[in-house]
Amino acid sequence: MLSRDEMALRPLNFVVVLGGDGTLLSAARSMAKVGIPVLGVNLGSLGFLTEVPLEELYATLQGIEEGRSNVEARSMVHCDVLRKGTTVASYDALNDIVVGKGTVSRLNHCDVYIDGDFVSAYKADSLIVSTPTGSTAYSLAAGGPILMPSVNALVVTPVAAHSLTHRPLVVPDTSKIEIVVNTGPDEAYLSVDGQDGMPMYDGDRVACHKSEHHVKLLRIQGTFFDVLRAKLKWGQR
Amino acid sequence: MLSRDEMALRPLNFVVVLGGDGTLLSAARSMAKVGIPVLGVNLGSLGFLTEVPLEELYATLQGIEEGRSNVEARSMVHCDVLRKGTTVASYDALNDIVVGKGTVSRLNHCDVYIDGDFVSAYKADSLIVSTPTGSTAYSLAAGGPILMPSVNALVVTPVAAHSLTHRPLVVPDTSKIEIVVNTGPDEAYLSVDGQDGMPMYDGDRVACHKSEHHVKLLRIQGTFFDVLRAKLKWGQR
Amino acid sequence: MLSRDEMALRPLNFVVVLGGDGTLLSAARSMAKVGIPVLGVNLGSLGFLTEVPLEELYATLQGIEEGRSNVEARSMVHCDVLRKGTTVASYDALNDIVVGKGTVSRLNHCDVYIDGDFVSAYKADSLIVSTPTGSTAYSLAAGGPILMPSVNALVVTPVAAHSLTHRPLVVPDTSKIEIVVNTGPDEAYLSVDGQDGMPMYDGDRVACHKSEHHVKLLRIQGTFFDVLRAKLKWGQR
Amino acid sequence: MLSRDEMALRPLNFVVVLGGDGTLLSAARSMAKVGIPVLGVNLGSLGFLTEVPLEELYATLQGIEEGRSNVEARSMVHCDVLRKGTTVASYDALNDIVVGKGTVSRLNHCDVYIDGDFVSAYKADSLIVSTPTGSTAYSLAAGGPILMPSVNALVVTPVAAHSLTHRPLVVPDTSKIEIVVNTGPDEAYLSVDGQDGMPMYDGDRVACHKSEHHVKLLRIQGTFFDVLRAKLKWGQR
């Protein structure tokens, strides 16, 4: 590892995030804008994004210093919130953008368009627009598929859709996904990585597409499948 | 059909509810307490509880007058909300009791006990305790099974459970189901048939069991499966 | 534990089955007919039916001898196979009766009736009629709910149903479930606990109902939920 | 439309397939090798691949003649079957390659590798490798997501996986997916679009990747979502 003096002479190479996936999500959104890689170190149990356990921190840093790491660029999803024709907010998410119902109302009504083509009206608790990285988070809990990080796609997953034939929809990440909120007098809520967000009102539009930013994850070993097997208790050979 | 004079001379035999399933749910909860049967007439599309279309209303009333109807008793679920050892509210539901997350927080943490035995800690958007009647409503959207109305059971269905191995759990309707809310500083929300409810706080307990009341549905023809096939577009012979 | 001499003087009290759930299923079907309880001891990993690990065998037998065990009666499902009006075979299953497609053909077509009422035509890989005990076996893998062993019900679960609105159906265990196989020239296959069975042909009928026999499981400790939490890695308090 | 004389003077422009999706699948695999577009005309109900109803056939042909059609290239999946190191068969599928269990055995055991990395051991009825086109067929019935035809991906979907945490896996269509069959003495079965195939034995390997061929679908109107809404009864605006 570098001494404090050596660090001071260098520009910031990467950021070590100690915590769980939640902590990393928050740091990753900030670092994505300035292009600095992050290394996720879990303080508790293994996370999808925080693979390095605390006791391997120094060995990992040593490995990075020795050039045995690689940077994995994870795509993000961007959204603009349009109210009466004006963009009132914009967000980038590493995992997902979620348009959900308010507390009391059971169903969230919205219309979805992809590249201008009408897809369907949805009645559901929420509608998730997830990146491949987010496909192992909330979207998975809602019945979505797992996307390898290298798949150039986004997935639109409804939560508890009223119609049993609504299923997760995988779209090219060159698509524009537009969600029009039809809640009448009820409030809906926009969530960004489950951490940030804002209330939504009838007629609001959420325009989603692949972000121009990426999160750079620093990784030293192991495959995406090693993490899946460990987290999901998949079968070993 | 009866003339107004004939009606005036009789005690109330039954109530006609015109609307959708939502309207009927609300009326049914009221009528259950006084034991008066309800006839559900849909003003729009076929409902699970409102099978009679408006154009068949008079023929149906005629049939009832001629004694060709029968009363189907549908079980309800009762819950008591306990806060610091005191019962602060009680509800009866025809469809379901739902303990859900507040607006912003993604996950609702709770512990479930059945007849005093610990079942599991759940992290999920919501936990649904559904009657057989409610099994075709919100629980179905969340991945639950369909229970015939005559099954003596309740079903506990998580919505978007964090753990992929949590599945709907069917329990005898002689069981006591207790949900302990562990939300920390966050608020949760208790919903009754998606229509009534109250905020919940950390440590609150929801004790559910079969209600002493029943909803008496007046029915004149057709089976439960006729409705399922029509509503869910199941295959004909 | 008893000496061989003591054993010789007594009628057979119970049978110890060493193996996995598969071994126990087979032994349990045999023992059910003569009413002898079985104790399942797993030689490898914990099973739903074989809860006792080998290293606890002697302590468990000691506990049984000291009267600390109880017998849990698990319901079975019986089926008669009717071909051209004649019963050509009959089976009792502890887990499930499965009507499945042959090897090559993708879809199994069948009609289902409950207590004489038409339910639906199904196109699916298989149709499972499961007991509560079987609800944690094949039916669970196919998307079925978990039924507590004390629920008086059977569950009909399709595997990979062509129609997305077909869902597991929970019926009272006093029901008669009839499956009519419509395979045309293709062969179907009837499976009993995944271990026994026979080929089925177009027009064959499988009439299922609760068996008159029970499997008596000898258990010394723990709840159904303890096993679920251990097997399915559910959350601890 | 062209007269027979005009036709005779031209090379074959396209093939009209009259039937259901099954008929089209078979014709499409043949035509893919020679690069001739196909027009699917359904003789019964609307198919995902046979959008044109019989009564619109002549209007559609007129539209094609007038240049109002476009050709949509649908990707296919290729597989080689390796037995003891030798390729014993090769197939191209428009929908899916399925490695399934034999008739009697309940579970198919196999190991999956992607680009040489071990993914997981699977115990399941079948393992489906589906194209985007096939994502609305068998994979959908087994719980898979819907992929827009323009997504550059394949999806690996298990049917009735023993482990509840196995979920459909979406991989880039530049990946090599290898399935190693571990059935011991039991037979497995390889299925191609549910129409062609061969028995598989312990140790056989199925190496799948995107095919060099495409199916050229002739389409004159409507979007992919129009078909989804019609087939799956999704909500209208």
Q: Out of A102-106, B60-64, C42-46, which region has the weakest mean confidence (pLDDT)?
A: A102-106
Residues 6+ apart with CB under 8 A from D235: A120, A121, A122, A123, A163, D229
Q: Please tell me the predicted confidence (pLDDT) of residue C3.
A: 57
Q: For D78-104, what is the mean pLDDT? A: 93
Q: Which residue has the higher pLDDT, B71 or C6?
A: B71
Residue type, A32: A
Question: pLDDT class for D185, splitting at 50, 70, 90?
Answer: confident
Instruction: Write the residue in B138, B143, B232 that is nearest to A106 by C-beta.
Output: B138
Percent of chain D residues past pLDDT 90, beyond the cut: 78
Taking the C-alpha atoms of residue B139 and residue B133, their distance in angstroms, rounded to an integer, is: 10
Active site members of C = 21
Question: pLDDT class for C226, splitting at 50, 70, 90?
Answer: very high
Q: Please tell me the predicted confidence (pLDDT) of residue A116.
A: 97
Q: For B208-221, what is the mean pLDDT? A: 94
Q: Please tell me the predicted confidence (pLDDT) of residue A108.
A: 83
- Residue B151: enclosing H or E segment and its boundaries? none
Q: pLDDT per residue over C166-212, tens digit each?
A: 999 999 999 999 999 998 888 899 999 999 999 999 999 999 999 99
Taking the C-alpha atoms of residue A158 and residue A111, their distance in angstroms, rounded to an integer, is: 12
pLDDT at residue A215 is higher than 80: yes
Q: For D125-151, what is the mean pLDDT? A: 97
**What is chain B's Cα-based Rg?**
19
Q: For A200-222, what is the mean pLDDT? A: 94
Q: Please tell me the predicted confidence (pLDDT) of residue B185.
A: 85
Q: Please tell me the predicted confidence (pLDDT) of residue A1.
A: 47
pLDDT at residue A197 is higher than 70: yes
Question: pLDDT class for B235, splitting at 50, 70, 90?
Answer: confident
Q: For B208-214, what is the mean pLDDT? A: 97
Q: Please tell me the predicted confidence (pLDDT) of residue C101.
A: 83
Question: pLDDT class for D151, splitting at 50, 70, 90?
Answer: very high
Percent of chain A residues past pLDDT 70, beyond the cut: 93
Cα D187 to Cα D115, D158, D177, D190, distances in angstroms: 26, 18, 21, 10
Q: Please tell me the predicted confidence (pLDDT) of residue B216.
A: 95
Question: pLDDT class for D51, splitting at 50, 70, 90?
Answer: confident
C123, closest residue in chain B (CA to CA): B235
Q: Among candidates C73, C79, C84, which has minimal Cα distance to C31?
A: C73
Instruction: Write the residue in A124, A125, A197 that is nearest to B104 by C-beta.
Output: A197
Taking the C-alpha atoms of residue D183 and residue D203, their distance in angstroms, rounded to an integer, is: 8
Question: pLDDT class for A106, splitting at 50, 70, 90?
Answer: low
Q: Which residue has the higher pLDDT, B6 or D145?
A: D145
Q: Please tell me the predicted confidence (pLDDT) of residue B95.
A: 98
**Neighbour-count burial of D146, counting CB atoms closer than 10 A to its CB (0-12 exposed, 13-18 middle, 19+ buried):** buried
Q: Among candidates A68, A160, A175, A65, which has minimal Cα distance to A119?
A: A175
Percent of chain C residues past pLDDT 90, beyond the cut: 77
What ipTM did this prediction achieve? 0.93
Q: pLDDT per residue over C112-171, tens digit each?
A: 999 999 999 999 999 999 999 999 999 999 999 999 999 999 999 999 999 999 999 999
Most confident of A39-48, A186-195, C200-209: C200-209
Q: Do B103 and A102 touch (CB under 8 A)?
A: yes
Q: Please tell me the predicted confidence (pLDDT) of residue A5.
A: 56
D187, closest residue in chain C (CA to CA): C103
Q: Please tell me the predicted confidence (pLDDT) of residue D1.
A: 47
Question: Which residues of chain C neighbour B223 with C-beta distances below 8 Å?
Answer: 117
pLDDT at residue A3 is higher than 60: no
Q: Please tell me the predicted confidence (pLDDT) of residue D13.
A: 87
Q: Do A119 and D144 touch (CB under 8 A)?
A: no
Q: Among candidates D70, D159, D179, D57, which has minimal Cα distance to D119?
A: D179
**What is chain D's Cα-based Rg?**
19
Average pLDDT across chain C, whole number: 91
The CA distance from D166 to the nearest CA of chain B, in Å, is 9
pLDDT at residue D133 is higher than 90: yes
Query: φ and ψ at B12, to 5 degrees?
Result: -65, 120
Any CB–CB contact under 8 A between A197 and chain B? yes
pLDDT at residue A101 is higher than 70: yes
Q: Which of residues 137-166 of A touch C (CB under 8 A)?
A: 164-165
- Residue C89: enclosing H or E segment and its boundaries? strand C86-93
Q: Out of A24-28, A183-187, C198-202, which region has the weakest mean confidence (pLDDT)?
A: A183-187
Q: Which residue has the higher pLDDT, A9 or C46?
A: C46
Q: Which residue has the higher pLDDT, B109 or D7?
A: B109
Taking the C-alpha atoms of residue D186 and residue D200, their distance in angstroms, rounded to an integer, is: 9
The token pair that represents C85 in the structure block: 């009006």
Q: Which residue has the higher pLDDT, B114 or D4?
A: B114
Q: Which of residues 214-233 of D touch C (CB under 8 A)?
A: 232
Q: Which chains touch C (3 or more CB pairs under 8 A)?
A: A, B, D
Which position has the token pair 């953008």?
Answer: A97
Q: pLDDT per residue over B39-61, tens digit each?
A: 999 988 888 999 899 999 999 99
**Are residues A1 and A61 in contact, defined by beta-carbon separation less than 8 angstroms?**
yes
pLDDT at residue B10 is higher than 70: no
Average pLDDT across chain D, whole number: 91
Residues 6+ apart with CB under 8 A from C215: C28, C29, C31, C32, C38, C73, C74, C76, C94, C133
Percent of chain C residues past pLDDT 70, beyond the cut: 93
Active site members of D = 21
Average pLDDT across chain A, whole number: 91
Query: φ and ψ at C124, to 5 degrees?
Result: -160, 165
Preferred mutation among B46, B162, B164 to probe D, highest tally of D CBs within 10 A: B164
Most confident of B13-27, C71-85, D9-23, D32-46: C71-85
Q: pLDDT per residue over B146-184, tens digit each?
A: 999 999 999 999 999 999 999 999 999 999 999 999 988
Is the alpha carbon torsion for A17, A20, A26, A29 positive or negative? positive
Question: pLDDT class for A104, splitting at 50, 70, 90?
Answer: low
Identify whether B92 is a catalytic site residue: no
pLDDT at residue B7 is higher than 70: no
The token pair that represents D1 in the structure block: 């439309």
Q: Which residue has the higher pLDDT, A169 or A46?
A: A169
Cα B83 to Cα B31, B99, B119, B187, B202, distances in angstroms: 29, 15, 21, 14, 9
Cα A77 to Cα A23, A203, A209, B183, D175, distances in angstroms: 18, 22, 6, 29, 24
B165, closest residue in chain D (CA to CA): D164
